[in-house]
Structure 1
Amino acid sequence: MNHATPQVGAPVSTFTQLLSSTRRGAHLARLLAVAELRSRGVSPELTERAELVVAELAANAVLPGRLPGRCFRLTLVLDPVGGHLRIEVSDARGDLSPRPRRPTDTAPDPLPTGGRGLTLVTALADHWDCVPYPPSGKTVRAVLTRAVGA
């Protein structure tokens, strides 16, 4: 007979919201993420980092990741015991998968107007990656942990 092992501490919580693939939807994603994290008692430092990551990933979902008539999905998975927050943004454009910019990459324009969002995500997140989101989309996931000593 199988028995569930009781968890010590607070359980993992998940927040998911489907949003319109518009600038307003991206803005709302950021506001909802902050409100959700504050309601869960997440530290201001982690909430601030998450706000910036959500803003960048949502902007990517509604600009290059947009397909007319298709929404994007924001998911926050908070593990308060482990101090981990996973941010996921899924969109319909699986054919456009981002890749981290390497320090050796050179840009033809020294001051480009775009393309810095994932560099910011790389700086703020402990790790990020991109996985397929069936049937034809993708999910960009970023993991953030609370600051050392927090």
Structure 2
Amino acid sequence: MTTSPRTERRSALPLPLADQTVFSFRFTPSPRGARLARRLASCQMDAWGWRYGTPAHDSVELIVGELAANAVTHGRVPGRDAELRLSREDGGHVRIEVSDARGERLPEARDAGSEEDGGRGLLLVAALAEEWGTAPRPGAPGKTVWAVVSAAPVGG
């Protein structure tokens, strides 16, 4: 039995495409969702021409991994997705935004010498990004944690 084209289900996943300047993806607030967000960010960076192993690619992948992990660990609200948004900006920058539904829980970086568990991933974000911060989530409850990474022009 064959399925007609009308009944085929299309994938809900966005495809990393070289010609799009913005990549957006909603993911479940789970470790699996965070891993998928990191992997898709990696694929999108490669599609944009920043190949695996380049400083821009690796920085974006690591920052997305940290912010997505924080979103699913500290920003999880049952039944509410998190969202990843990557923007390729003029001047050789990539903007990363990870949004979750917990606006009252803002990220807090701890000193490297702190005795407390956790909180050091944001030190990595601060080290790799030109700048980073938080903002209220536009059009929805929660917050967006963003970072801007300098990315040398592709081919340059």
User: For this structure pair, what is the TM-score category when the shorter chain's length is used for normalisation?
Assistant: 0.7 to 0.9
Query: 2-side partners of 1:127 and 1:51: how far apart?
Result: 16
Structure 2 equivalent of residue 123 of structure 1:
127
Structure 2 equivalent of residue 68 of structure 1:
78
Query: 2-side partners of 1:63 and 1:123: how far apart?
Result: 22
1:31 is aligned, of 33, 39, 59, to: 39
Query: 1-side partners of 2:100 and 2:94: how far apart?
Result: 20
Tell me the alpha carbon deviations over residues 11-69 of structure 1, each in whole angstroms, 9 at most, x when there is no partner: 87000000000000000000000001101102521000000000000000000111111
Among all aligned residue pairs of Structure 1 and Structure 2, give the percentage whose two residues are the same amino acid: 46
- Worse-matched range after superposition: 132-141 or 15-24: 132-141
- Give the TM-score, by structure 1 length: 0.81
Structure 2 equivalent of residue 89 of structure 1:
98
Report 1 or 2 for greater relative contact order, CA contacts < 8 Å, sequence distance ≥ 6: 1
Structure 1 residue 117 displacement after superposition: 1.0
- Which segments of 5 or more consecutive residues in structure 2 lack a partner in the other structure? 1-17
Instruction: Tell me the amino acid that sits aligned with residue 131 of structure 1.
Output: A
Structure 1 vs Structure 2 CA RMSD? 2.3
Structure 2 equivalent of residue 13 of structure 1:
21
Structure 1 residue 135 displacement after superposition: 3.4
SS at match of 1:130: strand
- Which segments of 5 or more consecutive residues in structure 1 lack a partner in the other structure? 1-9
Structure 1 residue 75 displacement after superposition: 0.1
Structure 2 equivalent of residue 46 of structure 1:
56
1:132-143 matched pairs, under 5 angstroms: 132-133=136-137, 134-143=139-148
Could you list the structure 1 runs, at least 4 aligned residues long, displaced by more than 3 angstroms after superposition. Answer: none
Structure 1 residue 146 displacement after superposition: 2.2
